[in-house]
Structure 1
Amino acid sequence: MDTEERTSRYSRQMLFKPIGPDGQRALGERAVLIVGMGALGTVLANHMVRAGVGTVRFVDRDYVESSNLQRQMLYDEDDAASLTPKAIAAQRRLSRINSGVKLEAVVADATASNIDELMDGIDLVLDGTDNFQTRYLLNDACFKYGVPFVYGGSVASRGMSAIFVPGETACLRCLIEPTESAGETCDTIGVIAPIVDIVASYQAVEALKHLVGDSKSRRPSLATLDVWHNHYYEMKLPPSRPDCPVCGGTHYPALDMTEEAGDATSLCGRETVQIRARGSFDLEEWRIRLEQVADVRANPFLLKAELPEGERLVLFPDGRTLVQGTEDPVRAKTLYARYIGM
């Protein structure tokens, strides 16, 4: 993209004095990581790409389903019909929006084993996840590497957002204890799209403030709102807890929790259990095997098998399997052992 085209594309954004030409240049030199390309993640990626952030890396472990289309703005019916991984579908759409941004799509689960690689070269992390296990992983990695973490969450008509900056604010663990983080999910009580857009926009604007260097305008609070019942309030971020190992830089608990092969993780509210294999999957090989006993659909990114028992197996090349149709890890492991082997 030449200078004239760049000036034209971002002209309205540069007219906004807190950004201006200098801020726009800064955005073009920055790299952000978005973890989770569902409802929040698609809005976040859309904002970052349209704003001209130089590199936008995003990671997601899932594929597009029809139930996503109500609120996940980058996907369409063709993506759902073809079982396209969200990261790939997002990359295809975003590349047509701004070819001047470097897009890095990663089809994977963000874990303690790959978070260092995902964080490499990143200036800021945006939370597009739907679970606190991954949020604590991002929180710990961000504070380890001194990278701001922009938290966001939405369910029903409610949402919240805050930016945590290592060395300047408390971390997520200081605000929300791991024992307090379980609760309602979009898959149990639903969600409306407007709250997703609002929360992600709150996250995006805090990200832009940091990326252009306007730290004095940063919101020093957790914003919470309910757009259906017309509630809004802010809670000032508390100081770091004296005993917080993450803020103190002594220990990062989530980074120690490496997943063992064969471990089963229930994905909250989704009637899905994720199991990791000891190695990778050759999808063509597994298509041939499973076609003998199941109705199989496959593309270059995943394989989906409808089992005679009623559940579904979704295999990914990186060794992950989603057992859909159950929340019981024991049942999931039984099916996995029966068709894949432990």
Structure 2
Amino acid sequence: MKEQFERYSRQMLFAPIGEAGQRMLMDKAVLIVGMGALGTVLANHMVRAGVGLVRFADRDYVEKSNLQRQMLYDEDDVKHMYPKVIAAKKKLSKINSDVQLEAIVADVTVHNIESLLEGIDLVLDGTDNFQTRFLLNDACYKLDIPFTYGGAVSSRGMSAIYVPGVTPCLRCFIQSGDSGGQTCDTIGVIAPIVDIVASYQAVEALKYLVDAHEQRRNSLITFDIWHNHSFEMKFGVPAENCPCCQLKEYPALHPEEQDPFTSLCGRDTIQITGSSKLDLEKWRLRLEPITKVSAFPFLLRAELPEGERLVLFPDGRVLVQGTDDIVRAKTLYARYIGL
């Protein structure tokens, strides 16, 4: 224990944490959903701070365009098309071997969110879309687990911590989740805003995990670091008819609302979630006679004669890259994978 504490000596010298807080951190478990720009900063902070278990889930693999802002990845990860969680675990395990890491290659959906939350004390939002954020919001409020919300695009960011039974929920502030088409893939993003947003999330997470509830920020903050704007919205009472924290309906948790066809905004890609797992070796042998196939440890890529590309994952997901037309994606999926 003495050798462990040596690692955290400067953090323990910070009086609001101290030895007691450090022991609490080492006994806690967090879930990070999304291991892109926000998620990599969040994971870095949680692992270096000594949180006992850090579980993270993401459906994607590392691409060259990620390297500008997703701090845990490098060109070797791009070359091998590593899933983000696998690449992240490789890096994080070298940073702090005392922390238990759980890397889950999966699309976070209504079908697996509650199992991902088992044993978790706090959720950190590293996502890039409101569909998943509302899923996190509803699941966390149903299961009485707090989560830190963060969003970053262009030079703008926002952050808050939502605590069931104490604060309003995300739905009280944002009903539709309509971003107006503004995503990192459509209008860009600069790396400093990502670091700032995730750091705001991380510090609120640390406060919660060491029971520093009096110091927890009770507001939603927004800021633009390029144009030097900032705004803080103090939490009031929850929205009277909020379907989540007041009516307890949790609309995102209804399986019938889960669409197997998802457009990944700004990426010219449709994700199709199949009903069964995929044996990548079998699919390599099946697709090789008719497509150009590249096999990687955690995924299979097939260049189609039509010009698009399929990326197959063992959990049953297939990305149809090169189109944002769901009908076109369905046609190609049916042609090569089968509906």
User: Above 0.5 in TM-score?
Assistant: yes
Deviation at 1:259, TM superposition (A): 6.5
- Residue equivalent to 1:285: 282
Q: Map of 1:138-157 to 2, 5 A cutoff? A: 138-157=136-155
Which residue of 271, 275, 280 corresponds with 1:274?
Answer: 271
SS of equivalent to 1:96: helix
1:338 alignment counterpart: 335
- Structure 1 length normalisation: TM-score? 0.97
Q: Distance in 1 between matches of 2:7 and 2:199?
A: 20
CA distance in 2, matches of 1:76, 1:340: 32
Matched-pair contact (CA < 8 Å) for 2:55–2:102:
yes
Please show how residues 17-96 of structure 1 align to structure 2 within 5 Å: 17-96=15-94
SS in 2 for 1:269: coil
Amino acid at match of 1:38: G
Runs of 4+ in 1 over 6 A off after TM superposition: none
Q: For residue 300 of structure 1, report the CA deviation from its aligned partner.
A: 2.5
Work out which of the residue numbers 209, 212, 221 in structure 1 matches 2:210. Answer: 212
TM-score, normalised relative to structure 2:
0.98
Q: Distance in 2 between matches of 1:310 and 1:174?
A: 44
SS in 1 for 2:95: coil
Equivalent-residue separation in structure 1 for 2:268 and 2:323 (angstroms) = 5
Distance in 2 (alpha carbons) for counterparts of 1:180 and 1:288: 42
Q: 2:167 aligns with which of 157, 166, 169?
A: 169
Once residues 230 and 263 of structure 2 are traced to their aligned partners in structure 1, the CA distance between those partners, rounded to angstroms, is: 32
Mean alpha-carbon deviation: is it higher for 295-304 or for 158-167?
295-304
- Contact 2:158–2:221 under 8 Å retained in 1: yes
Equivalent pair of 1:144/1:249 in contact (CA under 8 Å): no
2:308 alignment partner in structure 1? 311
Aligned residues: 339
Aligned pair partner of 2:320 in 323, 332, 338: 323
Indicate if the aligned counterparts of 2:181 and 2:265 stay in contact, CA closer than 8 A.
no
- Tell me how large the CA RMSD over aligned residues is: 1.2
CA deviations 1:202-241 (Å, max 9, x no partner) are 0000000000000110111111111111111211123211
Query: 5+ unaligned residues in a row in structure 2: which ranges?
Result: none
C-alpha separation in 2, matches of 1:39 and 1:51: 19
Which blocks of at least 5 consecutive residues in structure 1 are unaligned? none
**Deviation sequence 1:148-191 (CA, Å, 0-9, x none):** 01000000111000000000100000010125455400000000
Whether 2:5 is the aligned partner of 1:7: answer yes
Q: Which residue of 2 aligns with 1:126?
A: 124
Letter in 2 for 1:329: I
1:202 is aligned to: 200
Quote the sequence identity (%).
69
Of 238, 245, 248, 2:246 maps to: 248
Contact 1:272 1:326 in 2 (8 A): yes
Q: Could you say if the C-alpha distance between residues 298 and 101 of structure 1 is closer, same or farther in structure 2, counting changes exceeding 3 Å?
A: same
Structure 1 window deviating more from structure 2 (45-54 vs 236-245): it is: 236-245
| SS of 1:169 mapped into structure 2 | coil
Q: Is the CA contact (8 Å cut-off) linking 2:157 and 2:193 kept in structure 1?
A: yes
TM-superposed deviation, 1:258: 4.7
1:222/1:147 CA distance change after superposition, 3 Å: same
Q: CA–CA distance in 2 between the matches of 1:333 and 1:238?
A: 45
Q: CA deviation at 1:292?
A: 1.2
Equivalents in 2 of 1:238, 1:267: separation in Å? 34
Residue 327 of structure 1 aligns to a residue whose secondary structure is coil
Task: Tell me, in whole angstroms, the C-alpha distance in 2 between the residues paired with 1:189 and 1:168.
Answer: 35
Q: Is the 8 A contact 2:48 2:95 kept in 1?
A: yes
